[in-house]
Amino acid sequence: MKKVFLIAAAVMATPAWGLTLVSPDGNLRLDVDVDSAGTPVHSLSYKGRTVIAPSHLGLSGREADMTRGFAVTGESRESVDRSWQPVWGEYETVRDHFNELAVTLTRQDVDSPGVMILRYRLFDDGMGFRYEFPRQDAVKYWAITDEHTEFALPGDMTVFTIPGDYDTDEMLFTSVPLSQVRDEFKRKRRRHTESQAIPGLCVQTPMLLKGLDDKPLYVSIHEAALRNYGGMSLLLDDTTMTLTSHITPDRLGVAAYVKLPFHTPWRTVIVSDDARDILASQLIYNLNEPCALAETDWIKPRKFMGVWWEMFLGEGTSWAYSNDWDAQPGVTDFSKVAPSGRHAANTANVKRYIDFAADNGIEGLLVEGWNEGWEDWAAFRKNHHFNFTKPYPDFDIDSLTSYAASRGVKLIMHHETAGNAADYERQLDRAFQYMVDYGYDAVKTGYVGAIIPRSEHHSSQWMVDHAIHVAARAADYRIMVDSHEAVRPTGLCRTYPNWVAQESARGGEFEAMQGNPPEHTCILPFTRLKGGPMDYTPGLFETDMSTYGGRHTHKAGTTIARQLALYLTMPSPLQMACDLPQNYARFMDAFQFIKDVPVDWRDSRYLEAEPGDYITVARLDKQSDDWYVGAITDENARTANIDLSFLPKGRKYRATIYADAADADYQTNPKAYEIRTVDVTSKTLLKQPLARGGGVAIRLQPVDMLAAR
C-alpha cells in the first residue's frame, strides 16, 4: 500500500457527560448523554485519545421516531469476566471480559412516547453497543427505515474499505485517507451488473481505520450478531469525517420489519495502537450468542480440493453438462440431451480428484456443476434455476458416493442458487435430505445474481435471516455450510458453528480473472475476517494464467511460498487446496505443507502486522504440539522478524521452512521457493526475507516428538 498521512486530528474537548464507562484495563472510556434536542450522543477515547468524537444516535421508521426528545431515565451496570470454548477457531479458549452499561432513554413529549435502551460493552480491545426497544404500548410493530448511528472520526484517517453495496462485496480495497475515498471510488469502481450501489458516498464494513498522531491508532468498525435486520454500510461525510449508518432496505425502502421487544445487532469498534491486537481481537465473537446447537461433535474442520478451479481457466471445462439452453432442470430428461463434452463434474474426472485427495490426505472434495440447471442460470429473469436433487447423467452419484467413502474422502455438495433464495428455500429440506442420503456433510452455497424474492437484496433483512435459516436448518441435518455471496459475516458462526466459512469478499477465484494484488490478503484479515472465516481458496501453485490458453494471461499476485503462508494468515476451519491435481504433482515438496497444515488451533500469536503491508502469525495445532508460522508481505519485499519466544522454553523444535527463493518475485519468478530445515528454540529470532508478493510458511515440530515417532 501507499503510505498516507493523517491530515488533521481533531482535538475534542471532553464535555461534561452524564454517564461514563471504562474498559476493564481502563484504556477505553465511553461518555454518553443526550444533547439539547434530546438526541443521544456518545464519544469514545483510547488512552486519552479520541476514537469516536461526539456522535449522535437513534433510529427512525414508520411508526416511531427514536432520534430525539429523550431524557436519561435509568442506567444499569455489570462487569463480566468469563470464557468459552469455540468448536473451532484460532484459540481453544476465548476470554469474554467487559464492563457493561445500559442507558434507558425515555421520550419526554407526551405526543410521541418511546423508550430506548442503549447497551454498551467495553472490552479491553474495543466497544460494542446496540439499541434495544423493550415492549411498550406506544410502539408494537415498527417498520424501521433509517438508523442514524454516527461515527465521528477524529480526523482524516486512512481507511481500508470497499464501496457500499446492497448486493456484493467482491471488490478490491481502497486504502486512502477518508478525504480521498470519493476520488478513489470514481477511479476504481467497475460496474457490477447485478449489484446495487448505494447512492452517495458509502463504504462497507468490516473496515479498518488507521490514524497517525505521534503513534498509530487502529480502529475496526463492523457489527456483530446481525439478524432480523438489514446489513449496515456507512455513509461518509468527507468534510466532517463522519460515518453514518445506512441499513440495506428491501425494495420497499424498509430496513427492518420488527415487533417489539427488539434490539439491533451490535455495532462494534475494535481499537488499539498495535495493529496485531486488531487481528487477535475476538470481540465480535464475544458479542454473539453462545452455541445454539446441542451437539457439535459432528462438525469436522477439514481441508478440501475441488472440481472447480478448472472451470475458471482458459477454454477449459464447464459447469454445464450440455449446450442446450432450453433444457429445464427437474423437467428435461438430461439423459436424452447431447452432452457438450466439456462437463467437469463427470464421474471419471471426479474419481481422479478423489484419488489425488485420498493419496495426499486431503479429506474433502467439492464438486461443482453436478446438478441440473447450469445450461441457463440467468439470475432474476426467470423463476426457477437449479434442481438440488437431480445430478447430471454423467455424475454417477451412487458410484461416486461409495468410491469416495472407500477412499476416505468426503464429497462436498454445491448448491448454487443464482440468487434465487426463494427457489432454494422451496427445495431446502429435500436438498439436505438428499445430501444425508448420500453421505454428504458439507455444502457450499452460492447466490450469484440479483435476489429472488425480488423485494430483497443480498444484505436486506429477509436475506440476512435466510442465511441464518439455511445454517440452522443444515444443523438439523448435521451439515456444515460454506456460504458464498451471502451477507458479510458478523460472528454468527459462534452461535452456529456448522456455518464454517463464508466467501463475502473478493476471493482467490479472482486470480483467474482480474487478479488480486498482494496487498489484498494483507488487508482481508483486518477487515473481512473480523466477521468470521473466509473461504478464500488458497493453494494456488500455477500462478501464470497464460498457461491455460484463455484470454487472461496475467500472473497472480503471489509466489508459491506465499500461498502456503495464507493457510496461517487466512485461518478457516474449511480450507481449500484450490489448484489442479496436475499442478500440485509438479511441486509435491511444497504441497507437503498443505498436507501437513492443520485448520483448527489451540492458540495463535500475531507477531507482526501492518494493514495492507504485512502479517506474521504463529499458531499451535489443536491436536499436537506443533506450531506453524505464516508470514506474508505486500508488493514490497521485506524481512519477516519471526521471534519464536512463544515456544516453550527449553524445548527444541525442528523448523521446516517453505520460503521464497532468493530470486523469487511474484511477477517475474513466483514459483521459486526453497525448503530448508533448521532447529530452533524459544530464543530464536528468524530473520526471513520475503520476496515481493511473497511469504513464508513454517512447520515447527518438537524434536523430542520427532525422535519418538
Annotated catalytic residues are 509
Considering the complex, what minimum distance in angstroms separates the CB of residue 383 from its own copies?
Answer: 6
Window contacting its own copies (CB under 8 A); options: 31-39, 378-386, 584-592, 633-641 = 378-386
Among 378, 436, 678, 706, interactor with its own copies by CB under 8 A = 378
Residue among 355 and 376 whose Cβ is closer to its own copies: 376
Q: Rounded to the nearest whole angstrom, what is the least distance from the CB of residue 320 to its own copies in the complex?
A: 16
432 versus 627: smaller Cβ distance to its own copies: 432
298 binds its own copies (CB under 8 A): no
> Interface with its own copies includes 135 (CB under 8 A)?
yes
275 lies in the binding site for its own copies (CB under 8 A): no
Site string for its own copies, 255-274 (x = CB under 8 A): --xxx-x-------------
Would you say 135 or 182 has its CB closer to its own copies? 135
- Of 684, 700, 685, 701, the C-alpha closest to 639 is 685
The three three-digit cell numbers of residue 558, written as one number = 503471489
Q: Which is nearer to its own copies, 258 or 501 (CB)?
A: 258
If binding is defined by CB under 8 A, does position 247 make contact with its own copies? no
Touching its own copies, residues 593-622 (CB under 8 A): none
**Which one, 445 or 569, has the nearer CB to its own copies?**
445
Binder among 428, 471, 501, 618 for its own copies (CB under 8 A):
428
Residue from 7, 143, 172, 405 in contact with its own copies (CB under 8 A): 143
Least distance from C-beta 502 to its own copies, angstroms? 21
Nearer to its own copies, 462 or 606 (CB): 462
CA distances from 335 to 323, 401, 598 (A): 14, 20, 42
Distance of alpha carbon 690 from alpha carbon 563, whole angstroms:
12
Query: CB of 547 within 8 A of CB of 584?
Result: no
Binding of residue 134 to its own copies (CB under 8 A):
no
Closest to 308 measured CA to CA, from 416, 380, 398, 401:
416
642 to 155, 216, 560, 674, 682: CA distances (angstroms): 34, 22, 20, 18, 11
Question: Which residue in the set 426, 586, 651, 683 belongs to the binding site for its own copies (CB under 8 A)?
Answer: 426
Nearest to 150 by CA among 235, 225, 228, 226: 235
406-438 burial, b for 16+ CB within 10 Å, e for fewer?
A: eeebbbbbbbbbbbbbbbbeebbeebbebbeeb
- Span from 187-195, 419-427, 634-642, 657-665 in contact with its own copies (CB under 8 A): 419-427
Q: How far is CA 121 from the centre of its chain?
A: 23
**462: contact with its own copies by CB under 8 A:** yes
C-alpha cell at 83: 470464557
Contact between 104 and its own copies (CB under 8 A)?
no
Q: Does 292 bind its own copies (CB under 8 A)?
A: no
Binding residue count for its own copies, defined by CB under 8 A: 33
CB of 384 to its own copies, least distance (A): 9
Which of 95, 342, 407, 469 lies at the binding interface for its own copies (CB under 8 A)?
469
| Angle value at C-alpha 536, between 344 and 657, nearest 5 degrees | 105
Element (H, E) at 357: helix 347-359
Q: 572: how many CB neighbours lie within 10 A of its CB?
A: 26
- Among the listed residues 465, 596, 635, 674, the single contact to its own copies using CB under 8 A: 465
One of 76, 83, 93, 383 touching its own copies (CB under 8 A): 383
Tracing cell 515438496 back to the chain, one arrives at 589
Piece in contact with its own copies (CB under 8 A), picked from 309-317, 428-436, 596-604, 676-684: 428-436
Which one among 340, 455, 667, 681 touches its own copies, defined by CB under 8 A? 455
Q: Which is nearer to its own copies, 386 or 526 (CB)?
A: 386
Residue 32's nearest CA partner among 153, 107, 120, 126 is 120
Cα–Cα distance for residue pair 131/108, rounded to 1 Å:
18
Q: Provide the 8-state DSSP code for 640.
A: E
What angle do the packed helices 347-359 and 397-406 form, to 10 degrees?
A: 10
Q: Alpha-carbon torsion 131, 134, 137, 143, what sign?
A: positive
80 binds its own copies (CB under 8 A): no
Query: Is 332 a binder of its own copies (CB under 8 A)?
Result: no
Helix (H, G, I), strand (E, B) or coil at 573: coil
Interaction of residue 375 with its own copies, rule CB under 8 A: no
Q: Which amino acid is at 657?
A: I
In 135-201, DSSP assigns E strands to 141-147, 150-152, 158-161, 174-177
Sheet holding 480-483, edge to edge: 501-502, 480-483, 442-446, 410-416, 364-367, 302-307, 574-576
Which of 243, 450 has the CB closer to its own copies?
450
Identify the residue among 77, 182, 381, 651 touching its own copies (CB under 8 A).
381
Closest CB 435 distance from its own copies, rounded Å: 14
State yes or no: residue 251 binds its own copies (CB under 8 A). yes
Stretch that binds its own copies, among 4-12, 390-398, 455-463, 619-627 (CB under 8 A): 455-463
Q: Half-sphere exposure of 203 toward its Cβ, with a 13 Å CA cutoff?
A: 34
Residue 677 · residue 703 · CB < 8 Å: no
* 483 counts as binding its own copies under rule CB under 8 A: no
Peptide bond into 163 cis (omega under 30): no
Near its own copies by CB under 8 A, which window of 174-182, 459-467, 571-579, 663-671?
Answer: 459-467
Among 425, 625, 643, 674, which residue interacts with its own copies (rule: CB under 8 A)?
A: 425
The 3-state DSSP class for residue 39 equals coil
**Strands 601-610 and 574-576, sheet pairing:** unpaired
Q: Does 37 bind its own copies (CB under 8 A)?
A: no
Minimum gap (Å) between residue 230 Cβ and its own copies: 12
Q: How far is the CB of 252 from its own copies (least distance, A)?
A: 6
User: In this chain, which of 342, 382, 552, 654 binds its own copies, going by CB under 8 A?
Assistant: 382
What's the rounded Cα separation, in Å, for the pair 320 and 341?
Answer: 10
In angstroms, the Cα distances linking 236 to 6, 157, 202, 324, 359 are 17, 12, 6, 47, 52
210-229 binders of its own copies (CB under 8 A): 228
Question: Of the ranges 387-395, 452-460, 570-578, 683-691, which one interacts with its own copies (CB under 8 A)?
Answer: 452-460
Q: How far is the CB of 324 from its own copies (least distance, A)?
A: 11
- The cell for 249 is 432496505
Q: Is 468 in the site for its own copies (CB under 8 A)?
A: no
Binding site for its own copies (CB under 8 A): 135, 141, 143, 228, 250-252, 257-259, 261, 326, 376, 378, 380-383, 422, 425-426, 428-430, 452-456, 461-462, 465, 469
